[in-house]
């Protein structure tokens, strides 16, 4: 119960924060509306007594008053709805923002690799929509408490024993909570298979995967797998729903017995002349109202319990907070020495397979470095470590002699310009798509055009109606869909927005481009990175499988099974008989 009260207080505080005036208006309207309901019962008692006594004028006046009360009850409810609905929408938006902040709370990616974290994010995403009605539930619950209190006073005035009637509702409320707990536990237990079911559904319905599914005729096995997953999930949920329904029926039975007892008591008193016909009508009406109030309260408490859990899960996603950086001055304005890796080994969180093993390297300031190696050698992983997205499992990465762990992570990442293989496709306006690379210049059309020029993306701008203001993507609206290579070129322009970067990372940025486009991009990129290298000692790091590109680097690092097996410039490595010259020879023969 404490939990529900805390959730209700949280929701009220949130609602007051987003729109205090609308909230107060809704509270006032609902309070008057809810008090009107027991007054209707009092009116019916007066009407019955007046009718029995043959006082038509009084009976008529009372009936009119009852009619006004009923209209008031309905109308005030509608007007209150207008106020709390909007407050609920605003509150939900705030919670969505909170979810986004929590998921992106850490500058690193460790938590995103944790399946329990992924399950919690999924459950919160699924349930957050229901918090929109949380404001309504809290206000209605408050109204019901007010109404039940007033009803109890009226019942006590008739017979103190009748005060027990609202109390008889408690078992059903408590049992209802237990039933809800059962359902929540079942949802948690099935979170993983629910996530898998959704993933399979997404695979079978999103354009990115649908082509392969059609061509491989993969629909039947996907459907079978989805069916198996869903059967498992729904069997567990169905069992929990059945048990919850049984418990709730027990609670309702307890209240029904008390209800029958109250009516019997007042009829018995009327038979002994201690109550009149109006009192019997009053109790029957109030008892019906109490039953409606209890059912309503139980539903609202159940809803609030669910909201409470979602809010709790949301709070659990909050990042515990970064420890303050002990290094004063933070990230250097320009690199003087460069980046050194000392015995760096790394395994992804939750796994014990070492992806990088005892990597020792020195990358001098102002240099360009290419990472080479077969698929799965650990190139992207090394890049992610250098970007500060993960910390090494053992060993150190030093930036001008300072351990990357000791640098403020967001400050370091603000000085990294990166384009990954799995680059983002922001379905925004073209200018925004590039501008997000440097948020301070999101609206700076001149800077955006310059970055687009450097990335050779002017032709893309010309094909999008509206140019920089044109909408991209088919996901929503009527944006222009781009080819894979065009999206990637925009990603490159986004990366080139960062002029103050100390580390420029291109992780196979040209995978979706043709060889000529790749060469042109690297030529331009090399020129701009040379300039950055002179200006700020920036290091350019790129991952590529194309040796025509790789050979342009000052230093080439060859990774094999997570270890650095060779390292030097193109000429030196080619002269040796190691993996580099072997791979280079292989590619030359293929392209000859
Ligand atoms: N988030 C992750 N969790 C666990 N293992 C991962 C994760 N990301 C990558 N790996 C594993 O790390 C290994 C190295 O992957 P990485 O992406 O670094 O290789 P790569 O050299 O860049 O390969 P490619 O040339 O194919 O891009 C792979 O075996 C992969 O399974």
What's the pLDDT band for 205 if we cut at 50, 70, 90? confident
| Ligand 1 within 6 A of CB of 560 | no
Confidence check: pLDDT of 206 > 90: no
Q: Residue 339 forms beta bridges with which residues?
A: 363, 399
Using CA positions, which residue lies closest to atom 2 of ligand 1? 348
Q: Which tokens belong to 228? A: 């198996």
Residue with the smallest CA separation from ligand 1 atom 6 is: 348
Q: Is the pLDDT of residue 336 over 80?
A: yes
Q: Which CATH architecture best describes the domain 2-316?
A: Up-down Bundle (1.20)
Residue among 585, 559, 555 nearest 569 (CA): 555
Q: Which residues of the chain form CATH 1.20.1560.10?
A: 2-316
E strands of 445-530, at which residues? 503-507
Reply yes or no on whether the pLDDT at 322 is more than 60. no
Whether the CB of 350 sits within 6 Å of ligand 1: no
Q: Please say if the pLDDT value at position 48 is more than 80.
A: yes
pLDDT at residue 294, as a whole number: 77
Q: Is 577 helix (H, G, I), strand (E, B) or coil?
A: coil
- DSSP tag of 554: S
Show the DSSP H helices in 272-388 as ranges.
Answer: 277-316, 379-386
Interval between CA 497 and ligand 1 midpoint (Å): 28
Greater confidence (473 vs 450) lies with: 450
Question: Is the per-residue pLDDT at 485 higher than 90?
Answer: no
Residue pair 29/72 in contact by the 8 Å Cβ criterion: no
pLDDT higher than 80, residue 372: yes
Q: How far apart are CA 538 and CA 554, in angstroms?
A: 13
- Whether 117 is in the pocket of ligand 1, judged by its Cβ within 6 Å, is no
**In the structure, what pLDDT confidence band is assigned to residue 342 with cuts at 50, 70 and 90?**
very high
Numbers of helices and strands, H then E, in the chain: 20, 10
Residue 521 is predicted with a pLDDT of 66
What spacing in Å lies between the alpha carbon of 388 and ligand 1's midpoint? Answer: 16
Q: What pLDDT, on a 0 to 100 scale, did the predictor assign at position 387?
A: 92
The whole-chain average pLDDT of the chain stands at: 85
From the alpha carbon of 382, which atom of ligand 1 is closest? Answer: 18
pLDDT for the residue 46: 93
Phi, psi (deg, nearest 5) at residue 142: -60, -45
381 CB near ligand 1 (under 6 Å): yes
Minimum-distance ligand 1 atom for the alpha carbon of 562: 14
Count Cα atoms within 13 angstroms, Cβ side, for 551.
Answer: 13
Here the tokens at position 131 are 């918090």
> Is there an atom of ligand 1 within 6 Å of 191 CB?
no
Position in ligand 1 atom list of the atom nearest CA 351: 4
Task: Say if strands 555-560 and 368-373 run parallel, antiparallel, or are unpaired.
Answer: parallel
Q: Is the pLDDT of residue 423 over 70?
A: yes
Q: Please give, one letter per residue, the 3-state secondary structure of 139-184.
A: HHHHHHHHHHHHHHHHHHHHCHHHHHHHHCCHHHHHHHHHHHHHHH
Strand (E) or helix (H) holding 341: strand 338-347
Using a 6 Å cutoff on CB, does residue 375 contact ligand 1? yes
Inform me whether the pLDDT recorded for 574 exceeds 60. Answer: yes
Strand order across the 338-347 sheet = 354-364, 338-347, 394-399, 402-403
pTM of the model: 0.69
Ligand 1 atom with the shortest distance to the CA of 508: 27
CATH superfamily of 334-415+502-516+540-592: P-loop containing nucleotide triphosphate hydrolases (3.40.50.300)
Q: Calculate what percentage of the chain has a pLDDT beyond 70.
A: 93
513 lines ligand 1 (CB under 6 A): no
Q: Which residues belong to CATH 3.40.50.300 in the chain?
A: 334-415+502-516+540-592
CA of 549 to the centre of ligand 1 (A): 22
pLDDT in tens, 228-249: 888 988 998 999 999 999 998 8
Q: Which ligand 1 atom is nearest residue 371's CA?
A: 21
Least confident range of 61-75, 171-185, 296-310, 312-326: 312-326
What ipTM was estimated for this complex? Answer: 0.97
Q: Which atom of ligand 1 is nearest to the CA of 383?
A: 18
Query: Model confidence over 287-312: pLDDT tens digits?
Result: 888 878 877 887 788 788 888 888 88
Q: Does ligand 1 lie within 6 Å of residue 422's CB atom? A: no
Protein residue with its CA nearest to atom 29 in ligand 1: 376
pLDDT (0 to 100) of residue 84: 85
pLDDT band for 59, please (50, 70, 90 cuts): very high
Residue 328: pLDDT above 60? no
Please tell me the predicted confidence (pLDDT) of residue 276.
86
Question: So what's the pLDDT on residue 522?
Answer: 67
Q: Helix or strand or coil: residue 419?
A: strand
Q: Which residue's CA is the closest to the ligand 1 atom numbered 1?
A: 113
| pLDDT tens per residue, range 381-408 | 999 999 999 999 999 999 999 999 888 8
376 Cα–ligand 1 center, Å:
5
The pLDDT assigned to 323 comes to: 53
* CA distances, 220 to each of 206, 209, 235, 323, 390 (Å): 16, 15, 22, 50, 39
Beta bridge partners of 363: 339
The backbone torsions φ and ψ at residue 480, rounded to the nearest 5 degrees and listed phi first, read: -85, 130
* Distance of CA 571 from the midpoint of ligand 1 (Å): 29
Contact, 569 vs 369, CB < 8 A? no
What number of other Cβ atoms are within 10 A of residue 406's Cβ? 14
Mean pLDDT of 546-570: 88
- Are 359 and 563 in contact by the 8 Å Cβ rule? The answer is yes
323 lines ligand 1 (CB under 6 A): no
Q: Which of 380, 509, 561 maximizes ligand 1 atoms within 8 Å of its Cβ, making it the mutation to test the pocket?
A: 380
Average pLDDT over residues 117-127: 84
111 lines ligand 1 (CB under 6 A): no
Looking at residues 367-377, what average pLDDT do you find? 90
Is there a contact between 543 and 571 (Cβ–Cβ < 8 Å)? no
């Amino acid at each position: 119960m404490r939990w529900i009260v805390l959730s209700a207080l949280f929701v009220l505080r949130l609602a007051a924060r987003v729109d205090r005036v609308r909230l107060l208006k809704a509270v006032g309207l609902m309070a008057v509306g809810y008090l009107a309901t027991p007054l209707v019962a009092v009116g019916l008692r007066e009407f019955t007594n007046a009718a029995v006594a043959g006082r038509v004028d009084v009976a008529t006046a009372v009936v009119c008053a009852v009619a006004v009360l009923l209209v008031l009850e309905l109308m005030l409810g509608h007007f209150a709805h207008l106020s709390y609905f909007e407050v609920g929408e605003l509150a939900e938006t705030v919670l969505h923002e909170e979810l986004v902040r929590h998921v992106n709370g850490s500058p690193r990616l460790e938590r995103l690799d944790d399946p329990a974290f992924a399950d919690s994010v999924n459950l919160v995403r699924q349930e957050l929509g229901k918090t929109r009605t949380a404001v309504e539930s809290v206000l209605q619950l408050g109204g019901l408490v007010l109404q039940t209190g007033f009803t109890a006073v009226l019942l006590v005035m008739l017979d103190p024993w009748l005060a027990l009637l609202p109390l008889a509702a408690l078992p059903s409320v408590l049992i209802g909570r237990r039933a809800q707990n059962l359902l929540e536990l079942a949802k948690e237990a099935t979170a993983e298979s629910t996530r898998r079911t959704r993933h399979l559904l997404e695979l079978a319905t999103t354009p990115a995967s649908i082509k392969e599914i059609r061509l491989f005729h993969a629909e039947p096995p996907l459907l079978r797998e989805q069916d198996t997953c869903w059967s498992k999930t729904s069997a567990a949920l169905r069992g929990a729903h059945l048990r919850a329904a049984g418990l709730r029926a027990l609670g309702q039975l307890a209240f029904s017995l008390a209800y029958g007892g109250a009516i019997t008591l007042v009829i018995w008193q009327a038979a002994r002349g201690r109550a009149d016909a109006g009192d019997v009508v009053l109790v029957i009406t109030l008892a019906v109202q109490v039953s409606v109030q209890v059912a309503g309260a139980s539903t609202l408490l159940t809803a609030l319990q669910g909201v409470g859990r979602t809010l709790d899960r949301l709070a659990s996603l909050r990042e515990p907070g970064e420890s303050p950086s002990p290094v004063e001055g933070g990230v250097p304005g320009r690199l003087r020495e460069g980046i050194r890796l000392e015995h760096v080994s790394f395994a992804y969180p939750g796994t014990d397979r070492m992806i990088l093993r005892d990597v020792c390297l020195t990358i001098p300031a102002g240099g360009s470095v290419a990472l080479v190696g077969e698929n799965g050698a650990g190139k992207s992983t090394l890049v992610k470590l250098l970007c500060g997205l993960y910390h090494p499992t053992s060993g150190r990465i030093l930036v001008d002699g300072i351990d990357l762990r000791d640098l403020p992570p967001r400050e370091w990442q603000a000085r990294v310009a990166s384009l990954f293989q799995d680059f983002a496709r922001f379905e925004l306006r073209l200018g925004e798509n590039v501008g997000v690379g440097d948020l301070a210049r999101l609206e700076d059309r001149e800077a955006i055009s310059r970055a687009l020029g450097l990335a050779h993306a002017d032709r893309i701008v010309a094909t999008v109606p509206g140019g920089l203001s044109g909408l991209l993507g088919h996901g929503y609206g009527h944006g222009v869909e781009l080819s894979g290579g065009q999206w990637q070129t925009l990603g490159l322009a986004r990366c080139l927005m960062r002029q103050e970067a100390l580390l420029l990372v291109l992780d196979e940025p040209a995978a979706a481009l043709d060889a000529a486009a790749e060469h042109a991009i690297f030529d331009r990129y090399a020129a701009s990175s040379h300039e950055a290298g002179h200006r700020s000692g920036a290091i350019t790091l790129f991952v590529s499988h194309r040796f025509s590109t790789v050979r342009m680097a000052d230093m080439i690092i060859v990774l094999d099974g997570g270890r650095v097996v060779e390292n030097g410039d193109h000429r030196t490595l080619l002269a040796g008989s190691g993996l580099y010259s072997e791979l280079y020879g292989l590619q030359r023969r293929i392209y000859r």
